Structure 1
Amino acid sequence: MPVITLPDGSQRSFAGPVTVAELAADIGPGLAKAAVAARVGDRLVDTSHRLEADAEVAIITARDEDGLEIIRHSTAHLLAQAVKQLFPGAQVTIGPVIEDGFYYDFAFDRAFTPEDLEAIEKRMAELAEADLPVHREVMNRDAAVTFFRGIGEEYKAQIIEEIPADQEISLYGQGEFKDLCRGPHVPRTGLLKAFKLTKVAGAYWRGDARNEQLQRIYGTAWADSKALKAYLRRLEEAEKRDHRRIGRDLELFSIQEDAGGGLVFWHPHGARIRRVMEDYWREQHTRAGYELLFTPHIALEDLWHTSGHTDFYRESMYRPMEEDGQPYQLKPMNCPFHVLVYKDKLRSYRELPMRWAELGTVYRHEMSGALHGLMRVRGFTQDDAHVFCQEEQIEEEVLRVLDLTLEMLGDFGFTQFEVNLSTRPEKAVGSDEIWEKATKALQGALERKGLEFILDAGGGAFYGPKIDLKIEDAIGRKWQCSTIQLDFNLPERFEMEYVAASGERRRPIMIHRALLGSLERFFGILIEHYEGRFPAWLAPVQAVALNITDKQADYVDSVAKTLNNQGFRVDADLRNEKIGFKIREHTMQKVPFLLVAGDREKEAGSLAVRSRSGEDLGSMSIDDLGKFLARQVAMRGRSVMED
């Protein structure tokens, strides 16, 4: 007689085994109707799952995070079913859940059109309305290969052939459609009520450009139509803020395919912003007690064997290059280089903690299908740093990193965060004792800083626990940028030591930390956060001085030179164009301030100042204008004028 314990602590007893669906019905008809799955202990299961023994059970609905993911996965199957009904010659490949939605890749002999997407979405709605029951069945591997090959699904057969022969294969079916999946899935298609197909794009089979081209249909799914409409509004806003379009319009950067995909070319205006970011980064780190390093871009491949990267990271590394019979490797990480600097001599406990930072360019072999503007590239500069310390210094050093992180992110205009604390996974290096000390140190630093956090049990790296900060941008999207990771692995692999106060040799603790992540990706986030309207301290051109007629040309030119000599980035537009035309053009370029001079301003030694939003800020003398710009720059991203 199973006894089921519910999340509120209440219990229900049954005379014999019951399904999750029957349990939900016993609790109430509303829950029975809304149930999409259940969590039994730590495991997600279908509503058809039988409960045969005592268990802790939580019924999952579309309102739950797990439920929403199941809704999205089930909607991906609904998409595949609709495509197969409308285009029987299409082959299905994979259809995973992604952030805010899902996609499914198809092999088809022609490109899907916008009209096709409309027809597919309409058929999906019809299938949802039909409220088809969804059922799970199990096959052995060879039978599953035979089944999918028999219905012409060669890609599915390839996937299954790579699964061990003794492993059960689960299939989910609805109507005539069956798909390979671990599940769980919704019990019926009628629970899929709020979805939208968003776009179609090219993709390569298994993400490899050497393989055949597929078509990827993207979609989104939500618990209800209200949430869907809110998301679609955010999507429209995100399209307006797309950093690739804004970067092109403002001539900030480009990805030159002639040089290879995923490689960023910083144009003059983008390079100005990068220089400001780098100068600020170095200044802040120097103030925070870091020494700056510069390390090479390549090293002997043996270094990456020692660090373990060739064991765990080979697919993201470029192939070695041969020189004098020895293989050299482009660096995917800066960490081993900092370790070598540490090992250059024997260290004493009196030298610890040691804080070393580097804007180090690294190279990752990303698949072409994964590249995305500045957000996913093959060569990028990490704002990397490593702290080498003793065990008892961990909490204080983590607190220092948090202080610096929050200060810097605030200066860039980010004040809302989601904080995650990730603990020991099943496979890990280091003793239980040091893991417990390290995790407590991270938690202690977060609590001392007054930061609420989400515990990600088992989500740490194999080499240590970590803190991740996700910044929230102007339209509510979260971006993973800052991370603080403790490492017991590299000090062991490289046999790092310091001489303790007792005279014995000990291993230091290594703290990996990045505050911005990579300059390229962070710049892309900044572009979208500000929609290209950078605060004055970051703007590539902080102000443009404009003459109304040729009579003021020399005056305007001298004003621009004076302000530039004061350290501001000011251009002079002396073209023989109407003032309204010039104002519109520089407003479109999102220049923060426009400085206009006619005869009256020239006579008075002043300028009429207006913001890019069109606000009249009045006339200012050159001295007052310099003070005004200095105040705007000093505010950084913490308080900018309304646009």
Structure 2
Amino acid sequence: MTEVSLKFPDGSVRAFPAGATGKDVAESISKSLAKKAVAVTLNGDLADLSTPVTDGAAIEIVTRTDPRALELIRHDAAHVMAEAVQELWPGTQVTIGPVIENGFYYDFARETPFTPDDLPKIEAKMKEIIARNAPFTREVWSREKAKEVFAAKGEAYKVELVDAIPDGQDLKIYHQGEWFDLCRGPHMASTGQIGTAFKLMKVAGAYWRGDSNNAMLTRIYGTAWATQEELDRYLHILAEAEKRDHRRLGREMDLFHFQEEGPGVVFWHGKGWRMFQALTAYMRRRLAGDYEEVNAPQVLDASLWETSGHWGWYQENMFAVKSAYAFTHPEDKEADNRVFALKPMNCPGHVQIFKHGLKSYRELPIRLAEFGTVHRYEASGALHGLMRVRGFTQDDAHIFCTDEQMAAECLKINDLILSVYEDFGFKEIVVKLSTRPDKRVGSDDLWDRAESVMTDVLKTIEDESEGRIKTGILPGEGAFYGPKFEYTLKDAIGRDWQCGTTQVDFNLPERFGAFYIDQNSEKTKPVMIHRAICGSMERFLGILIENFAGHLPLWIAPTQVVVATITSEADAYADEVAEALREAGLHVETDFRNEKINYKIREHSVTKVPVIIVCGRKEAEERTVNIRRLGSQEQTSMSFDEAVSSLAWEATPPDLKRKAEARKAKG
């Protein structure tokens, strides 16, 4: 073959000499494009510019500003970091260094572990290497040569990695100047294309290959971006996230704690539990009239989970229990020796409730909701405050409906989810449809039907929002039993949180033999729709705490008002103010301590109390109050009655405000 043909994004097809590389193609288009190019994609896969193109491939030239180049920038930065470490500390072994979300890391074997004090030296050396602008070049070595070369260099971990590469796969070696490493690639054209928008973040211990039986290595984490502005923005988000960390704020606000005897479960304090109950009460009101709240058992025989499929699909994430007597008296043959499971989800229990009694098509849709506590095993290293726990509460619901009702129910759920998020101030929402995974149950016909309906619903969501709601597709990310919508919201510092879901399920009703009687008096399997809005109530509260940096809206704040006195002469009046606010439904504390008022204000500001009412002799005589807001130096003077009325209205949850305004509008 003397020529190969390539397809370009504009649909054109051009011929090139056999053996032409991505760089040759870029240069044939324009010299300026060739200078900007860092890689190509061939049939969608990233490849080096030096890679020979293949006949019939679809090609795109990737420049450094292309979002796809970011992975290459980080990958190359990892290699440069490894070279810098070995230049500074000869004899250090490099092991693996992958790209991760927002950055990269490399694991090193060294007698003396690295410390944070070493990072500035490594960064400076990295900038030197980048300035050399050494080209990245690729070679393919035999397994024997690779092992021989790395063994001679004292790189025992690399020899082990070579042994782990399956037979038949090329052993690629990438050079950058004199330094080289075993790597699958691809890389950019030279180290200079990395730029200087990078920063080494931290050091940590890591076992070789993640196995605690292996040697402990030192892992150095870094982040890299295309521009300094992007790096600065990311570092700002990290700094903000640290200030907003719900675990620290939880301590300062006295909301909850965790301890070793209960790993991954929350010890709610009084104030935190008030927040939890305020969120639950709000959600209950939002469901009233449409959903019937139920409660399914916490512990169920393993046979039920075998029927549901969870015992096979999800067992590693479940907690299994037996009676203590059965454990301590194995010789007692009459002991109840059955295996039970703490429920990891509410859906099988809801199917049992639906099945209890004959259901007619006239009763559908039936919507069952539960604020059910569930338990799921998470590795101890993955636990993270309220965000990743082993025991949590789902604002869970299951809708049993006919096939014809499925689209309308999905849209109804969507409207509820978006309305709830808006009440908490979340306006940037992305809804994505996750389609069938490779490992799934159910016929292709059922999947076709469900995905068709949900695709139409997604289009309706986009159209009705007039572009305010972004939508997308996640191919292959559906549940094993059906496609689903995933709702992701953006918080105040730009982080994405996936919370709500709507999942169509044609598996569980069939497994449990659930049915309703249709208009032809035939038994018909219902469509089951799983729905969550907050997802985990604990996690959602963690998101709220971080989103508002502890400055929570008055209606959900655990302590809404502190009434503090300047002088003891105002104590009786301050008590009257506090009692009037309590009667209006607010959570109020008083502070009559013999301390200076500025000290009191600072102390209550640390615990993030939204409103501090100051009462002195003057306020008592004039029957006024002095209001200070969290985060503001301004003071507002109001009459007693006006303050009570204004704060009571401000502390009214948004759903109750809407109802009150609607009643007022009707006269």
| Alignment TM-score, normalising by the size of structure 2 | 0.87
**Is 2:5–2:16's contact at 8 Å kept on the other side of the alignment?**
yes
Q: What is the SS of the residue equivalent to 1:240? A: helix
Cα separation, partners in 2 of 1:53 and 1:227, compared to 1, 3 Å: same
Cα separation, partners in 2 of 1:540 and 1:454, compared to 1, 3 Å: same
State yes or no: 1:464 paired with 2:482. yes
Q: What is the SS of the residue equivalent to 2:487? A: strand
Could you tell me which residue of structure 1 aligns to residue 436 of structure 2? 424
Q: Given the alignment, which residue of 328, 337, 343 partners 2:349?
A: 337
State yes or no: 1:493 paired with 2:511. yes
Tell me which moved more, 596-605 or 39-48.
Answer: 39-48
Letter in 1 for 2:370: E
State yes or no: 1:309 paired with 2:310. yes
Q: Given the alignment, which residue of 68, 71, 86 partners 1:69?
A: 71
Q: Given the alignment, which residue of 368, 372, 395 partners 1:356?
A: 368
**Is 1:140–1:167's contact at 8 Å kept on the other side of the alignment?**
no
Tell me which moved more, 585-594 or 125-134.
Answer: 125-134
Tell me which moved more, 517-526 or 405-414.
Answer: 517-526
Could you tell me which residue of structure 2 aligns to residue 535 of structure 1? 553
Any residues of structure 2 matched to 1:406-485 within 5 Å, and which? 406-449=418-461, 450=465, 451-485=469-503
State yes or no: 1:594 paired with 2:597. no
Cα separation, partners in 2 of 1:106 and 1:444, compared to 1, 3 Å: same
**Is 2:26–2:33's contact at 8 Å kept on the other side of the alignment?**
yes
Unaligned runs of 5+ in 2: 327-335, 658-667
Letter in 2 for 1:423: T
Could you tell me which residue of structure 1 aligns to residue 245 of structure 2? 242
**Is 1:207–1:369's contact at 8 Å kept on the other side of the alignment?**
no
State yes or no: 1:51 paired with 2:53. yes
Tell me which moved more, 118-127 or 294-303.
Answer: 294-303
State yes or no: 1:220 paired with 2:223. yes
CA distance in 1, matches of 2:223, 2:370: 40
Tell me which moved more, 515-524 or 344-353.
Answer: 344-353
CA distance in 1, matches of 2:142, 2:479: 34
Alpha-carbon deviation of 1:208? 6.5
Q: Given the alignment, which residue of 379, 386, 410 partners 2:398?
A: 386
Tell me which moved more, 117-126 or 296-305.
Answer: 296-305
CA distance in 2, matches of 1:70, 1:26: 23
Cα separation, partners in 2 of 1:414 and 1:146, compared to 1, 3 Å: farther
Unaligned runs of 5+ in 1: none
Q: Given the alignment, which residue of 227, 230, 235 partners 2:233?
A: 230
Could you tell me which residue of structure 2 aligns to residue 630 of structure 1? 648
Cα separation, partners in 2 of 1:41 and 1:89, compared to 1, 3 Å: same
Cα separation, partners in 2 of 1:29 and 1:232, compared to 1, 3 Å: farther
Letter in 2 for 1:308: G
CA distance in 1, matches of 2:74, 2:317: 29
Could you tell me which residue of structure 1 aligns to residue 257 of structure 2? 254
Tell me which moved more, 217-226 or 23-32.
Answer: 23-32
CA distance in 2, matches of 1:547, 1:638: 32
Cα RMSD, aligned residues only: 3.1
Alpha-carbon deviation of 1:158? 6.2
CA distance in 2, matches of 1:413, 1:97: 34
CA distance in 2, matches of 1:497, 1:142: 64
Any residues of structure 2 matched to 1:37-116 within 5 Å, and which? 37-88=39-90, 90-116=92-118
| Alignment TM-score, normalising by the size of structure 1 | 0.90
Q: What is the SS of the residue equivalent to 1:282? A: helix
**Is 1:207–1:370's contact at 8 Å kept on the other side of the alignment?**
no
**Is 2:585–2:648's contact at 8 Å kept on the other side of the alignment?**
no
Cα separation, partners in 2 of 1:291 and 1:96, compared to 1, 3 Å: farther
Q: What is the SS of the residue equivalent to 1:259? A: coil
Could you tell me which residue of structure 2 aligns to residue 506 of structure 1? 524
Cα separation, partners in 2 of 1:86 and 1:530, compared to 1, 3 Å: same
Q: What is the SS of the residue equivalent to 1:231? A: helix
CA distance in 2, matches of 1:416, 1:90: 47
Q: What is the SS of the residue equivalent to 1:384? A: strand
Alpha-carbon deviation of 1:543? 0.9
| Paired positions, count | 637
CA distance in 2, matches of 1:241, 1:223: 27
**Is 2:580–2:644's contact at 8 Å kept on the other side of the alignment?**
no
CA distance in 2, matches of 1:156, 1:319: 41
Alpha-carbon deviation of 1:261? 3.8
Tell me which moved more, 112-121 or 329-338.
Answer: 329-338
Alpha-carbon deviation of 1:607? 1.4
Letter in 2 for 1:245: R
State yes or no: 1:195 paired with 2:207. no
CA distance in 2, matches of 1:612, 1:314: 47
Q: What is the SS of the residue equivalent to 1:65? A: coil
Tell me which moved more, 439-448 or 463-472.
Answer: 439-448
Could you tell me which residue of structure 2 aligns to residue 395 of structure 1? 407
Alpha-carbon deviation of 1:153? 5.4
Report sequence identity in percent.
48
Q: What is the SS of the residue equivalent to 2:480? A: coil
CA distance in 2, matches of 1:330, 1:209: 29
Alpha-carbon deviation of 1:94? 4.4
**Is 2:584–2:648's contact at 8 Å kept on the other side of the alignment?**
no
**Is 1:544–1:591's contact at 8 Å kept on the other side of the alignment?**
yes
CA distance in 1, matches of 2:225, 2:389: 30
Alpha-carbon deviation of 1:493? 3.5
Could you tell me which residue of structure 2 aligns to residue 6 of structure 1? 8
Q: Given the alignment, which residue of 512, 516, 527 partners 2:534?
A: 516
Could you tell me which residue of structure 2 aligns to residue 292 of structure 1? 293
Cα separation, partners in 2 of 1:146 and 1:351, compared to 1, 3 Å: farther
Alpha-carbon deviation of 1:410? 1.1
Letter in 1 for 2:67: E
Q: What is the SS of the residue equivalent to 1:399? A: helix
Alpha-carbon deviation of 1:535? 0.9
Q: Deviations over 1:258-281 (max 9, x none)?
A: 325433222222222111111111
Alpha-carbon deviation of 1:139? 6.7
Q: Deviations over 1:48-106 (max 9, x none)?
A: 33222112222223333322123223323333333344345555454443332223344
**Is 1:482–1:515's contact at 8 Å kept on the other side of the alignment?**
yes
Q: Deviations over 1:517-539 (max 9, x none)?
A: 21222222111111111110111
Alpha-carbon deviation of 1:400? 0.9
CA distance in 2, matches of 1:159, 1:307: 41
Q: Deviations over 1:206-252 (max 9, x none)?
A: 65667765443222111122222222222222222222222222222
CA distance in 2, matches of 1:637, 1:20: 59
Tell me which moved more, 29-38 or 81-90.
Answer: 81-90
Q: What is the SS of the residue equivalent to 2:626? A: strand
Cα separation, partners in 2 of 1:33 and 1:242, compared to 1, 3 Å: farther
Letter in 2 for 1:301: A
CA distance in 2, matches of 1:467, 1:212: 43
